[in-house]
Amino acid sequence: MAKLDDRDVQRWQNIEQNPRFKELVAKRGRFAMMLSLIMMGLYFSFILLIAFAPQVLGTPLAPGMTTTWGIPIGLGLIASAIVLTGIYVRRANGEFDRLTAQVLKEVQS
């Protein structure tokens, strides 16, 4: 196992104390929490729908159809998870990566 020398420890301390790093951690945490709460809200709504109004999910999309509302609602739930993941990745690869690069540049200089 590699042992950290004093320079490495100092670098880590400089990063932790950097205002941009603190900004990055706070922004990333708030954004992740917001997306998580949105997804949890959607999942809980789906579960509540199953528990208290299952007939809605069993209702055909149109008279005579065998496909019920449960299929598009379930697929919509999956799609929303994919979309929210894409939103996070896009912001992480943009704003968060720029902030990370700025922190590293400031610490290395």
Domain that holds residue 30: 24-108
Inside any domain, residue 2? no
Inside any domain, residue 10? no
Are 42 and 80 within 8 A, CB to CB?
Answer: yes
Inside any domain, residue 18? no
pLDDT tens digits, the chain, 109 residues: what are they?
Answer: 667 788 888 888 989 999 999 999 999 999 999 999 999 999 999 999 999 999 999 999 999 999 999 999 999 999 999 999 999 999 999 999 999 999 999 888 7
One-letter amino acid at 87 equals I
Inside any domain, residue 54? yes
Counted domains in the chain:
1
Inside any domain, residue 94? yes
Inside any domain, residue 6? no
Concatenated DSSP letters of 52-80: H-HHHHHSBSSTT-S-BTHHHHHHHHHHH
Structure tokens at 23: 């900004």
Inside any domain, residue 61? yes
pTM for the full model?
Answer: 0.81
